[in-house]
Structure 1
Amino acid sequence: MQATNPLCEWMQCQCCTDGGDNQVYNCVTRNRRLSAQLVICGQVNKKGKRSPGHMIRIFPRELLLKEMVMFLSPLFFVFMLGLGLTPLTLAQDDRRYRHFLSQHYDRQPKGRDDRYCESIMKRRDLINPCKDVNTFIHGSRNDIKGICEDKNGEPYEGDLRISKSPFQITTCKHKGGSPRPPCKYRATRGYRVIVIGCENDWPTHFDESFIPPGQ
């Protein structure tokens, strides 16, 4: 039933009863952005006729909650999507960084000779098949990560960055022969500036190393 009250002309209303002396019009605005309820209040006389009443516009809690959910649901979806993607991105960066450390980082090496290379290459699972060349960086993780920032690095070629300060490194080179274990390596110790690849300010790839100029 359409409401005939002039105040309802801008709304779409349906009449029902509340079981008492009120006629209730459940209305929704034409633009669908606001739900409300119109109550026509009046008194019933002895002849059973309703006297003229007045209209009260109320907003039931249930309708307001529904409208809030309808309005906020897109924002909530974007918010939850952001929460979902952020941990995923962080997890990917952390996995790549840990892989980089596993292949190229050894803070306090012992010996740094051929036996050291053969031992660490085996421990880091780089011998199936025998990797031809691999470099291990010694020192502080923060100094290495600083290469990805202006703190200890600067742009090099493409997306690569070169360290501002040199690092102690040990390069392990396969002596040749069969690529299957046992793998024999020759160690070369040095003091080098290093070139690495970074993603989201995290080291992810070792490229090469150079002897610092003037040495």
Structure 2
Amino acid sequence: MTDSCLNSCRLINQPLISKAKNKETMRILFTCLLLMLLFATGFSKPANLKPKPIDKRQNETPYEKFKRQHVDAKMTAKKCEAEIKNKQIYNVDNSCKDTNTFILSDYEKVKAICNGHGSPHKNTCLTESKAKFSIVKCELKNNGGRKPNCQYKGKLLTNRIVVVQCGGLPVHFEKDIVTFESNNAAIGKIPMDDTSVPTNIHV
């Protein structure tokens, strides 16, 4: 083949080779861009999606709810705010409870109130404990507060009979009753609700 023919072939094929190279370059650029987008998306998701706190109120039985809200042997008066937040003790509408009482005992002793170690409370379906317990009563300071900004003042109270609702197991804390020994050595009981303490009784 003559030189002129070869040159003619090169001129004809040059645009075809150029187009093929351009297509290959565009394909590579598109692939790189797609990988960069996927890479950036993968790193941005953890920053935007914070893990939701576990709601301890979901799928618990009435007894489990009672334990979470009212039984804690290691509770102290200074831990009201921290423990109420940690245990997620709020009203159903996430408003702050006015009062929450913790029984300072183990589960078995509290459970026993409904299994032979309790007595009927007056003419009600409630049961009062035969044993006396120490309790921590947490009272709301910021009325109208809502989760998680609940501020409480705690009080340690001793020699308390606790009144609960039983369903085979304790399922509701009703109130506590303070017991005292008078001058004639008679044992007396003063009923108390969750929000009041008689001024003539030293606790």
Using the size of structure 1 for normalisation, the TM-score is 0.51
Equivalence for 1:161: 127
2:163 to 168, 190, 195: 195
Q: Which structure shows the bigger proportion of residues in helix conformation?
A: 2
- Give unpaired runs (5+ residues) of structure 1: 1-93
Match runs of 1:164-179 below 5 Å: 164-179=130-145
Equivalence for 1:119: 82
Which structure 1 residue ranges, 4+ long, deviate > 6 Å from structure 2?
none
1:144 to 110, 121, 124: 110
How far apart are 1:107 and its partner, in Å?
2.0
* SS in structure 1 of the partner of residue 172 of structure 2: strand
- Percent identity reads 32
Map Cα deviations across residues 11-31 of structure 1 (whole Å, 9 max, x no partner).
xxxxxxxxxxxxxxxxxxxxx
CA distance in structure 2 between the aligned counterparts of 1:122 and 1:140, rounded to whole angstroms: 21
Q: How many residues align?
A: 117
Task: Give me the CA root mean square deviation.
Answer: 1.7
Q: Which structure shows the bigger proportion of residues in strand conformation?
A: 1
1:214 to 181, 185, 193: 181
Aligned partner of 2:114: which letter?
Answer: C
* SS in structure 2 of the partner of residue 103 of structure 1: helix
How far apart are 1:210 and its partner, in Å?
1.2
- Give unpaired runs (5+ residues) of structure 2: 1-59, 183-203
Using the size of structure 2 for normalisation, the TM-score is 0.54
